[in-house]
Structure 1
Amino acid sequence: MFFTLAFVSLLIERLCGYPQWLVRAIGHPVIWIGTAIGWLDRRLNRAEQSFAQRKTMGAMALLALLTAVVTVTAAISWFIGTSLVALAILAVIASSLTAQKSLEDHVRAVADALDREGLTAGRKAVSMIVGRDPDQLDEPAVCRAAIESLAENFSDGITAPALWLGIGGLAGGAAYKTTNTADSMIGHRNERYEAFGWASARLDDLVNLPASRLTALLFVLACFFVPGSSARDAWKTVWRDAGKHRSPNAGWPEAAMAGALGLALAGPRVYGGTLVPDHFMGAGGRREATASDIRKALKLARVADIMMIALFGLLAIASEAIARA
């Protein structure tokens, strides 16, 4: 039933997204998880403690949060049951864990802002999806940032939660989302979080490993259906450049996207006023990315998303057949 749950939840989120009126009314699971992480951070991450103590406290905080989330979501799944109606209810809940529609909308907004209002509007739009300093970005850099965000967030915002929903049901998907949210909030290599966020960052690297490879493969395959993109170059770039990225996972989808579009993505970037060195994905490609490149990247992502939904549909059929055998 887990792969069926993942398949149906992907369809629901693809078509409907997470309604803004619902966000205003009750918030979003990521907001709830983020609130809990912030509370734990304020109470357990103390500057007067040693590095080892803060590292231990961070690991304990993550373990406690994961235990609570898994317990609650497993209880919800058990209470709802296994009927078709139960599956529909669980799928609606699980659809909040993926971000197909919202990611596409946010990335498209960058291209639209650049085309209609220029660089200032493009910087504002891209600041909603990346952590780097927008004022440091010229127009090609804004476009590259949007494309990089699309590639990386497709992996950890769509493929990974769907995969963990298929593996562990609602509890598995919620546990993944908790880990990923913790990493985005406290998994930073700075004075405050290098120790406290160590466990969150390492676990996030681990649980995102299969999804990042699958996403790269989906991008390569999607090239066959998007004119002007190159599956051959995407494949070559993944094998040449993915392992050079400072992240063990982000390099895979970014390298695939860079090769597909003939761009040079990643490279040195500025976060919080600090220059962060990194290798280029698609070294030798164009750095002068445009809004048209953003739109082509969106087409690739849309095709890859359709492929992924179809894959989960096949897995759902296969798992149901095995269960009945």
Structure 2
Amino acid sequence: MTAAAIAIDWLIGDPKWPTHPVILIGRWIRWVEERLHPRESITSPIEGIHPKWLRLKGFLLMLSTITLSFIVVLVLVHFANDIHPWLGYAVSTWLISTTVAIKGLKDAAYLVYNPLREGNLADARKYTGYIVGRDTDALHEEELTRAVVETVAENIVDAVIAPLFYALIGGAPLAMLYRASNTLDSMVGYRNDRYRHFGTASARWDDALNWIPARLTGVLLILVALAKPGLSAPRAAAAIRRFAHLHPSPNSGIPESAVAGALGIELGGLNVYGGAASERARLGWPLRPRTQRDIVNAVSMLYGVSFVVMGGLLCVVLIF
């Protein structure tokens, strides 16, 4: 099922259907959030509400979301299997494919790369703003490239290895639980005034789920760098050892350091969020300037990782 799910994502990607599971999960999160943590709190102080109470509300949002996601998919797969095993297989495969976003990540990266190649900075900045939280209005080509490469590298964990890892352990239900967890983190796992306490449970749960997949991703990126001409596997491994722990995330520093080391560029540095400057850990060695071609190379590493996983899965099937 997992190998077939990868193939479906390679071919079809992540259609934005209104009934797509991730879209439904996002709607559920917003619906519960508005009841537990109304939007008025963005513009008015939350007086009289203890941070522990906000963290409890955030925990209830996280628990209800992952539980509902797991149970709904479990029931769907169960009923499909009762009708016919092949239907159960098809339903499980499709649901797992919706938790993976290899093609979607590539498409998002190329939305920036194509305008850059044409010298259209305005469109490149606009599309970069779709995939990162930092201000993009004043970014030049090298910084736009950095933003996209960082996003691709980080999401090799979130969009590929982690959902496949949990699919192998617990099938479609556990893969969807992971996707719900990651969606929670992307929607409420921020350290701003609104989510600093309310999003704590979601952020920490996502960190815990990504701990093993992030380290597997580091190994896979080294293998890809070993196989692909022009990349350096020893430098990728050295970058993980030297820089990964400097990243504010316990997981994201691993793939970002590996990609930076393999490409021979530096990631991280000064970002601006809502007009406020923030210095992020610098990962890798600036052996050369970043160029738009690094976006292509990062996407190539993304697909390389998926090819290695697919090859491994097919070998297991053939052996057993």
With the length of structure 2 as denominator, give the TM-score of the two structures.
0.92
Aligned counterparts of 2:95 and 2:68: Cα–Cα separation in 1? 17
CA RMSD in angstroms, aligned pairs only: 1.7
Match of 2:234 among 232, 235, 244: 232
What is the match of residue 276 of structure 1?
278
Match of 1:144 among 118, 143, 146: 146
Deviation of 1:251 (Å): 0.3
Which structure 2 residues correspond to residues 46-125 of structure 1 after superposition, within 5 A? 47-48=46-47, 49-81=49-81, 83-125=85-127
The answer on whether the counterparts of 2:240 and 2:257 sit within 8 Å (CA) in structure 1 is: yes
The answer on whether the counterparts of 1:269 and 1:277 sit within 8 Å (CA) in structure 2 is: yes
What is the match of residue 32 of structure 1?
24
Deviations 1:69-124 (CA, angstroms, capped at 9, x unpaired): 11111111111117234212321222111101111111122111101142212111
Deviations 1:43-81 (CA, angstroms, capped at 9, x unpaired): 112534211101011101211122211111111111111
What is the match of residue 299 of structure 2?
298
The answer on whether the counterparts of 1:97 and 1:174 sit within 8 Å (CA) in structure 2 is: yes
* 2:248 match: secondary structure: coil
The answer on whether the counterparts of 2:261 and 2:285 sit within 8 Å (CA) in structure 1 is: no
Is residue 14 from structure 1 mapped to residue 16 from structure 2 by the alignment?
Answer: no
Q: Which amino acid aligns with 2:297?
A: K
The answer on whether the counterparts of 1:136 and 1:270 sit within 8 Å (CA) in structure 2 is: no
Q: Which segment drifts farther, 242-251 or 129-138?
A: 129-138
Q: Which segment drifts farther, 204-213 or 87-96?
A: 87-96
Aligned counterparts of 1:315 and 1:127: Cα–Cα separation in 2? 41
Higher relative contact order, chain-length normalized (CA < 8 Å, sep 6+): 1
Aligned counterparts of 2:15 and 2:195: Cα–Cα separation in 1? 33
Which structure 2 residues correspond to residues 176-195 of structure 1 after superposition, within 5 A? 176-195=178-197
Aligned counterparts of 1:163 and 1:73: Cα–Cα separation in 2? 17
Deviation of 1:317 (Å): 5.3
Deviation of 1:277 (Å): 2.7
* 1:176 match: secondary structure: helix
* 2:130 match: secondary structure: coil
Q: Which amino acid aligns with 1:17?
A: G
Match of 1:43 among 25, 30, 35: 35
Deviation of 1:316 (Å): 4.8
The answer on whether the counterparts of 1:226 and 1:299 sit within 8 Å (CA) in structure 2 is: no
Moved over 4 A (4+): 315-318
Q: Which amino acid aligns with 1:268?
A: L
Distance 1:147 1:65, change over 3 A: same
Is residue 153 from structure 1 mapped to residue 149 from structure 2 by the alignment?
Answer: no
Distance 1:37 1:19, change over 3 A: closer
Aligned counterparts of 2:267 and 2:317: Cα–Cα separation in 1? 35
With the length of structure 1 as denominator, give the TM-score of the two structures.
0.90
What is the match of residue 41 of structure 2?
none
* 2:205 match: secondary structure: helix
Aligned counterparts of 2:172 and 2:305: Cα–Cα separation in 1? 23
Distance 1:221 1:274, change over 3 A: same
The answer on whether the counterparts of 2:264 and 2:285 sit within 8 Å (CA) in structure 1 is: no
Aligned counterparts of 1:27 and 1:120: Cα–Cα separation in 2? 33
The answer on whether the counterparts of 2:109 and 2:152 sit within 8 Å (CA) in structure 1 is: yes
Which structure 2 residues correspond to residues 178-257 of structure 1 after superposition, within 5 A? 178-257=180-259
The answer on whether the counterparts of 1:234 and 1:255 sit within 8 Å (CA) in structure 2 is: yes
Aligned counterparts of 2:274 and 2:314: Cα–Cα separation in 1? 42
Aligned counterparts of 1:31 and 1:88: Cα–Cα separation in 2? 21
Distance 1:195 1:315, change over 3 A: farther
Q: Which runs of 5+ in 1 are unaligned?
A: none
* 2:231 match: secondary structure: coil
Deviation of 1:314 (Å): 3.6
Q: Which amino acid aligns with 1:301?
A: L
Deviation of 1:217 (Å): 1.4
What is the match of residue 312 of structure 2?
311
Distance 1:311 1:274, change over 3 A: farther
Aligned counterparts of 2:231 and 2:13: Cα–Cα separation in 1? 28
* 1:267 match: secondary structure: strand
Aligned counterparts of 1:182 and 1:136: Cα–Cα separation in 2? 30
* 2:272 match: secondary structure: strand
Q: Which segment drifts farther, 43-52 or 196-205?
A: 43-52
